[in-house]
Structure formats: C-alpha cells, structure tokens
Amino acid sequence: MSLESWIPSRPGMCAQLNIGREEIEALGGSVESPIGDIGETEISIFGLNSGRIVALVRIAGNPASGYTLMLNEGGDPGEALREFLAESEIDSSAVTWVPDLR
C-alpha cells in the first residue's frame, strides 16, 4: 500500500517486532523514508483482510531493534497484532514488546 493510505493523526501502537527490512520486503512491503518532524523514519504500510491499515515504523535513534507495528485509526491493537501476525505468518516470538492496554 502507499504512504498516502496512512493517516497518522491517531495511530495506536500495537507492538514492537524484532524484524528487519528484509522480512518486510519478503511480505511484499515497500519501505519508504518520508521526511518528517521526528527525524529519519522508515515506514511500510499494509492493508489487512479486515480492512484495517497498519504500518511498520522505524524511527532513527529508537533503541529497540526492529519495527513498531502501528494501527492507523482506532480499533483494538491486540486484534490488529494477531491479525497481522497471522496474515504475515510472522511467528509471535518476534514480538518483543506490547503496550499496557488496561
């Protein structure tokens, strides 16, 4: 999907995934590097079967390895994470952090 499909006004963090650019490209994702206020960023947009739009985002300087899975607008981050993992066939062992969703 293109970067234009991403509406960054209310993104929600789903998880940190210990995956690299190679895994993203193997999923058919294109990693783009938009210029923004937060510095160097890599982002890849995916449309899930449910219609949810998620992004894998890497911001330069983030001490965590891999990419952060972000949900575009509202919805349940846990459901989005489970759906993304199932559709991408990425093993859940790649998940290194999830937000406290209480």
Q: What is the pLDDT of residues 37-49, one digit of tens each?
A: 666 788 899 999 9
- Give the tokens for residue 37: 């206020």
Binned at pLDDT 50, 70 and 90, residue 102 comes out as very low
- Phi/psi at 77 (nearest 5 deg)? -60, -35
Number of domains into which the chain is organized: 1
Q: The dihedral of CA 20, 5, 32, 39: what is its sign?
A: negative
Examine residue 102 and state whether it is found in any structural domain, yes or no. Answer: no
- Name residue 56's beta-bridge partners: 44, 69
pLDDT per residue as tens digits for the range 56-97: 999 888 888 899 999 887 778 899 999 999 999 999 999 998
What domain range is 42 assigned to?
3-97
Q: Is residue 9 over pLDDT 70? A: no
d(CA 71, CA 54): 5
